[in-house]
Structure 1
Amino acid sequence: MAIVTPLINIFIRSIRLLRIYRKIYDDRETKVSDVKFSIVITAQDNEQELEKNLPAIFEQDYESGFEVIVVTGKSDDETDTVVKNLQKEHSNLYTTFIPDSSRYMSRMKLAVTLGVKAAKSDWIILLGPECKPETNQWLKSMSIHCNNNKDLVLCYSNYDNETNKYYRFRRLYLQLYAIREALGKRAYCSTGYSVAFRKSSFMKHNGFLNNLKYERGEFDFIVNEYSEDYNTDVVVEHDARLIVDNPSKKSWLNEQMYYMDTRRHLARRIWHRIKFNTDMFFMHINYIAEIALMVYFGIMHNWIVLGASAFAFICTILIRTIVANKVIKFFDSGISVLSIIPFELRMIWTQLYLKMRYLITEKKDFIRK
């Protein structure tokens, strides 16, 4: 059990996946394509985020060209001023506005729709205002994946180095499930704050027609509804990663609550949750069984079996830690080796806590009134 049970976890499956990914990526022609991008950013009360993150987009080393479309609503801060000041420096920055009269539909989804319709390019990158590219090669790396065989491209992102380490671990952990599904037959959800898709695909699916009333979930709904058999790619190489601003505890919790509500409306959600719950079950049952055996045989003074149980327990920890650390290093997540086991054990309890919070939350808060 100490050998087999630790193999039932997302880190083990991801190591194999990353090996396959590396081989495919090494074998593929890595010449940058000539695809042009329209980067759509929705912003409301995001003055600080735009001021901090937008300049990194305009620093991109990408000869094929791109445009940035910022869609704003009525803000209480200087969001519009920040955009106007940047427009003086960048001729490829455009802005459009959400009409104040819009009701009964998500303003975020309406903003995305307006941005997509205003876009000149077929390839759209929907990007959150709270994130920025880690390098100036982001668009080059994205372009390699945006080819005739794909209609969706997901991009790995994680919180900045100032963020609570558990938040960073949890974000990586959950993205691994999304990445595996996206590189499999059909993607289930987005990897967070960025997704590239075709404008033609957005129009063909009538945008957010089926879920306009839900406040958030714009990234996940696009991926879940537009994903078809093998039409999705994922960018995980270093040059294409995104850095997400350190969230406050309140904003992090709100994000989790919105996802809790969004996932109720996503296709293939049951199978997605079964995989996570199965991993959690086998991990905990393994630890409980090994600790119970050590306690029992310690009481019985059966030192040989106690030693075997202790050895099995150590093997479990070593296998899980070594494998997880390889994946963590690949993604440069900066998680301490000593934190891996405690953070893994904490995952299911965080889920239960969030579930309880969601159950007592007024569900009308997630629907546009």
Structure 2
Amino acid sequence: MELNLLEICLLGALAFCFLVQLYFSLFVHLKLALVKVDSIPEEAKNPISVVICARNEAENLKTYLPTILQQDYPNFEVIVVNDRSWDGTADILKEFAKKYERLKVVSVADGEKFIAGKKFAVTMGIKAASYEWLVFTDADCEPASPNWLMGMQQPEDETIEIVLGYSPYFKKRGLLNSLIRFETFFTAVNYLSFALKGMPYMGVGRNMAYKKSLFFKSKGFAAHMHIPSGDDDLFVNANANRSNTKIRINKETQVWSEPKATFIEYLRQKKRHFGAGKLYKSKHQFILSLQIIVQFLFYVFGIALLCFPETLYIALGVFALSIFIRSFIYPRLLKRLNYGELSWWFPILDIILFVFLVFNAILSIFVKKVQWK
């Protein structure tokens, strides 16, 4: 079999992309599949302030706030920041405050002279916090167990300033829900694995914790107050390092969240996240961009080689080998991160997710305006 120069170049490019893909799978993500899951501490160490920002979340607060207020932890407070809501959120919080002494309500009113957005609300909640260790979640989130705070408390190692948790989405019917959960899974695999590797680059505000002193020492969100997103991932990106960050993936420390119900809502959410990513540290932008570009080129070069009779079976063999190797890693991670039923659909969802990420990246070039709610 003789190959021409174009076929040789395409094969070389495909091999390079395949090796880079394997690096991320075997030397980064596999760490998360093999790491020992920490057990829940038996004793509470320090008091905790839970911070929740709510904007028109009356129904979600009625459903989920009790599961947070009733956590099995001896000393904690829950601060809910009512950010200019008009749906009855204030009335709901007023009723909860009568029942739960540990609930503290902070209200942000219309007309105040500030830059509107979640970061301002989060800052108000942090300022109102009585304790050093802050745990964050959202109004539409439900802890997986009464031991959530026990697992997310300040680690015994006082040098740890940031704890990154995991927040899966509830299972619903339909392809959109499967895509949302699969995308969330891969995002989590990436940021948790890199944190294990000593290079934390983001966290998710639905389930994370850090020290109040770290927030003020780093001047909070001052560096990126001009964009609506990034109260979670940009803060971690700027302040996390290999020695001050730990992860928590114990099933009891996870927080379940309500997924977006429509494709348009999901696109808006991903648009906000994509905008924040542009402000990541250069090395993190490079690595994350490399992952997407290499995956894109892997498909491009592979499909191109399918068009040549001499390289058809080689390309099919590389595709099959890639799926075979990755199918030993990611289905195991799907089970570990509470998405086990998606394991059988891994190869298909992997391709759908890739197409969506490319589409979202292109859309983000043309759609500039984003907002919290």
TM-score, normalization by structure 1: 0.85
State the partner residue of 1:168. Answer: 181
Residues 136 and 205 in structure 2, CA contact (< 8 A), matched pair in contact too: no
Percent identity between the aligned chains? 22
The alpha-carbon deviation at position 95 of structure 1 amounts to 0.3
The alpha-carbon deviation at position 294 of structure 1 amounts to 6.1
Aligned residue among 333, 343, 347 for 1:337: 343
- Map 1:295-310 → 2, pairs under 5 A: 296-297=308-309
C-alpha distance in 1, partners of 2:154/2:45? 9
Q: Could you tell me which amino acid in structure 2 is paired with residue 8 of structure 1?
A: Y
The alpha-carbon deviation at position 146 of structure 1 amounts to 6.3
State the partner residue of 2:272. Answer: 258
SS at structure 2 position matched to 1:345: helix
State the partner residue of 1:13. Answer: 28
Q: Could you tell me which amino acid in structure 2 is paired with residue 67 of structure 1?
A: E
C-alpha distance in 2, partners of 1:367/1:329? 32
State the partner residue of 1:316. Answer: 322
C-alpha distance in 2, partners of 1:144/1:204? 18
C-alpha distance in 1, partners of 2:69/2:312? 62
The alpha-carbon deviation at position 295 of structure 1 amounts to 5.9
The alpha-carbon deviation at position 244 of structure 1 amounts to 0.7
Q: Which moved more, 1:9-18 or 1:44-53?
A: 9-18
The alpha-carbon deviation at position 30 of structure 1 amounts to 4.1
Q: Could you tell me which amino acid in structure 1 is paired with residue 29 of structure 2?
A: S
Gaps of 5+ in 2: 1-14
State the partner residue of 1:271. Answer: 283
Q: Do residues 248 (structure 1) and 261 (structure 2) align? A: yes
Q: 1:188 to 1:271 in 2, by over 3 A?
A: same
The alpha-carbon deviation at position 79 of structure 1 amounts to 0.6
Q: 1:184 to 1:146 in 2, by over 3 A?
A: farther
> C-alpha root-mean-square deviation of aligned residues, in Å?
2.9
C-alpha distance in 2, partners of 1:238/1:262? 28
C-alpha distance in 2, partners of 1:187/1:347? 23
Q: Deviation digits for residues 221-243 of structure 1, max 9, x if unmatched?
A: 32122224421111111110010
State the partner residue of 2:10. Answer: none
Aligned residue among 248, 258, 276 for 1:235: 248
- Map 1:184-199 → 2, pairs under 5 A: 184-199=197-212
C-alpha distance in 1, partners of 2:314/2:224? 55
Q: Deviation digits for residues 300-338 of structure 1, max 9, x if unmatched?
A: 7xxxx9777655543332222222111111112134334
Q: Which moved more, 1:306-315 or 1:126-135?
A: 306-315
State the partner residue of 2:213. Answer: 200
Q: 1:187 to 1:292 in 2, by over 3 A?
A: closer
Residues 106 and 213 in structure 1, CA contact (< 8 A), matched pair in contact too: no
C-alpha distance in 1, partners of 2:186/2:372? 28
Aligned residue among 66, 85, 92 for 1:82: 92
Residues 162 and 245 in structure 2, CA contact (< 8 A), matched pair in contact too: yes
State the partner residue of 1:325. Answer: 331
The alpha-carbon deviation at position 16 of structure 1 amounts to 2.4
C-alpha distance in 2, partners of 1:137/1:349? 38
State the partner residue of 2:105. Answer: 95
Residues 32 and 143 in structure 1, CA contact (< 8 A), matched pair in contact too: no
Q: Could you tell me which amino acid in structure 1 is paired with residue 47 of structure 2?
A: K
